[in-house]
Chains A and B, each alone.
Chain A
Amino acid sequence: MTSVSIRDLTLKFGSLEVLKSLNLDIDEGEFLVLLGPSGCGKSTLLNCIAGLLDISDGQIFIGGNNVTWSEPSERGIGMVFQSYALYPQMTVEGNLAFGLKNARMPKDQIAERIARAAEVLQIEPLLKRKPAQLSGGQRQRVAIGRALVRDVDVFLFDEPLSNLDAKLRAELRVEIKRLHHRLKNTMIYVTHDQIEALTLADRIAIMRNGIIQQLDTPHEIYNRPVNLYVAGFMGSPGMNFIEGDITHHSEAAINFGSTRIPLERYPFIRSDRPEKAIFGIRPEHVSCGAAAAGEPFTADVEIEVVEPMGADTLVWAVLDGKEFRFRVDGQSPLRAGETARIGFDPAKASIFDMATELRL
């Protein structure tokens, strides 16, 4: 069943179109991540769903109700903000109770709700404290609790972990995922962090300039990006892109310099073959040394820079005059200035039409 549904949503600030006739259906209990660089409209979209921004055109349905003109509090949503947005003068308990008091809920029922939320989030010892006396992680927990007590169908997260340090972010990420498994609410989560997106999402919507570029499972988005933008955005370090010419006399191949990469194993999704194309392969799909020998394509590269990152090492090399990055094991003995043998399977690659930047 559909939980949140967005029809032809358009938002204009003056003459600037921030969201362009956007359509989106989110299933009940789904964890959807809106991912994109800053200024792509992802937070704006979330604010529109929450009712904090008045839309210019289109419709929004939440839980089967048309909420296009409803107040934020009437939409059955709870929202968690990046800066926590806890009311500084109220205790944690007051923060949790605020929304319920506004809804004129009886006192005993409020206490019951708070007790339950505090138990779920393990913030019972903090209830009497003020937000200023809490750590960043605790504050974010309270902020989640504020959405939780309202017993809503849809949770909206606006970059909730961006203000936390790396370690805490990883911890809370798991906790949000656990919370989702437990509550089974619909969750819409905005982030610019692809790790958060990949780890949390059932589906990811990658946005750019107010348009959803690709809406799919993390696996699909990572392995089969629909266009050059998505391919470049997902993955860190980014995908290697090499411009080349496609030939297909006897069998399809892509050529650049004196290198020829055979493409008979590549699963083309389109039948047309433009001449110019961009070949993309992720650094982690390249093998090196002895492992390279078994791959369908092998080549020698000159190593320029080696970046050890602990668990693995990123190698910046040159493949036939083009910059080429690949990832090797952290124990690798590779040194700058050496030549290494690399190999990969073109089946794992992505090829894009140079003109349209769409996947071939």
Chain B
Amino acid sequence: MTDVTSLNAPHAVTTRRLDGPSGAKPKRAISPRNVFIYGTLLLVSVYYLLPLYVMIVTSLKGMPEIRLGNIFAPPVEVTFEPWVKAWATACTGLNCDGLSRGFWNSVQITVPSVILSIAIASVNGYALANWRFKGADVFFTILIFGAFIPYQVMLYPIVILLRELGIYGTLWGLILVHTIFGMPILTLLFRNYFTSVPEELFKAARVDGAGFWGIYFKIMLPMSLPIFVVAMIIQITGVWNDFLFGVVYTKPDVYPMTVQLNNIVNSVQGVKEYNVNMAATIITGLVPLIVYFVSGKLFVRGIAAGAVKG
């Protein structure tokens, strides 16, 4: 009511709005633009999610139901039998204790590999970015060059190397390999991140009497959580999903999960148990998936931060 009275008051005439558009432009919910954008997004999501849907659905069906051939149909009778079997009793070669053995092997491989490679690579990147020692550029170039050499070239030489070290076929041999091969990309990642940290901060710390490790632990580390998360995700997924190194450098009782999965799925004897295969595959992929979901936000932030400079 106050609006109306003030509008009618003589002094308000000058402030009255003229005819025509006024205020915020109205937005239509269904415009060609929105239809196009959301339509495309929907299509792409379906394209990506459909296989996952099929896997989940199949893993919850019994074999008779699978044989009917309706792969998109939801399960009539939900059963968790295949999951239990995949985890605990599926046979790979001589062992019949399912994926559980491979899971623990993979954990034992991934955790030290990730910690070791990140610890070393972050110090590398810090030294390369902030302590411009003589030959730093040459060293960096060599390291990056390493990232472009195909793994296959180095497979056999590393077998010999591990044999001479006496750790061929052990978990520690594989951990060493993962740590070394993670080095180029992780060092690049950390170097670029640390270069984007203002140089004056580093200078201030030096004036304040902090040394190489003092600056690293007290100044750089606390500032670099996002990039550590990115490095962790890259390494966890990389090491967890690795098949080639796992199959080459380990023996059956220390096979990582991926190799065991392959052995379950590709076993030639007996009936193909699609539901068990699907369940086993999902279980194997679950770890990287969880890592992504938990740290997705930090991941994006870290990628963006590392991308700004260098």
Contacts and interface: CB of A to CB of B under 8 A. Distances in A.
B132 to A, nearest CB: 10
Interface string A80-97: 011101111100000000
Contacts of B209: 71-73, 99, 102-103
A85 B200 contact: yes
A83 B222 contact: no
B219 A77 contact: no
Contacts of A81: 200, 203-204
A145 to B, nearest CB: 12
Interface string A215-246: 00000000000000000000000000000000
Contact of B210 (A50, A83, A102): A102
A98 interface: yes
A87 B205 contact: yes
A283 interface: no
Contact of A99 (B201, B208, B222): B208
B206 A87 contact: no
B296 interface: no
B207 interface: yes
Range of interface residues on B (Cβ < 8 Å):
10 to 19
Nearest to A77: B207
Contacts of A102: 208-210, 214
A88 B223 contact: yes
Interface in A117-159: 146, 150, 158
Given A89-B223, A98-B218, A73 B198 contact: no
B99 to A, nearest CB: 42
Range of interface residues on A (Cβ < 8 Å):
20 to 34
A170 interface: no
A275 to B, nearest CB: 51
Contact of A78 (B198, B207, B210, B218): B207
A79 interface: yes
A82 B200 contact: yes
Given A98-B210, A102-B210, A79 B203 contact: yes
Interface in A94-118: 98-99, 102-103
Nearest to A84: B200
Q: Which residue, of A47, A99, A158, has the highest number of chain B Cβ atoms within 10 A?
A: A99
Nearest to B206: A72
A71 B209 CA distance: 8
Interface in B192-236: 198, 200-201, 203-210, 214, 218-219, 222-223
A98 B207 contact: no
A99 B207 contact: yes
A83 B207 contact: no
Contact of B208 (A51, A73, A88): A73
A99 B214 CA distance: 11
Contacts of A146: 204, 208
A99 B223 CA distance: 18
B38 to A, nearest CB: 37
A83 B201 CA distance: 9
Contacts of B203: 47, 50, 52, 72, 79, 81, 85
Nearest to B221: A89
Contacts of B214: 102
Contacts of A47: 203
B1 to A, nearest CB: 44
Contacts of A158: 200
A87 B219 contact: yes
Contact of B198 (A50, A85, A98): A85
Given A73-B208, A82-B200, 19 more contacts: A47-B203, A52-B206, A52-B207, A77-B207, A78-B207, A79-B203, A79-B204, A81-B200, A83-B198, A85-B198, A85-B204, A86-B204, A87-B204, A88-B223, A99-B207, A102-B208, A102-B209, A102-B214, A150-B208
22 contacts: A47-B203, A52-B206, A52-B207, A73-B207, A73-B208, A77-B207, A78-B207, A79-B207, A85-B203, A87-B201, A87-B204, A87-B218, A89-B222, A89-B223, A98-B210, A99-B207, A99-B208, A102-B209, A102-B214, A103-B209, A146-B204, A146-B208
Name the 6 nearest CB pairs between A and B, nearest first.
A73-B209, A99-B208, A102-B209, A85-B200, A85-B204, A89-B222
Interface of A: 47, 50-52, 71-73, 77-79, 81-83, 85-89, 98-99, 102-103, 146, 150, 158
Interface of B: 198, 200-201, 203-210, 214, 218-219, 222-223
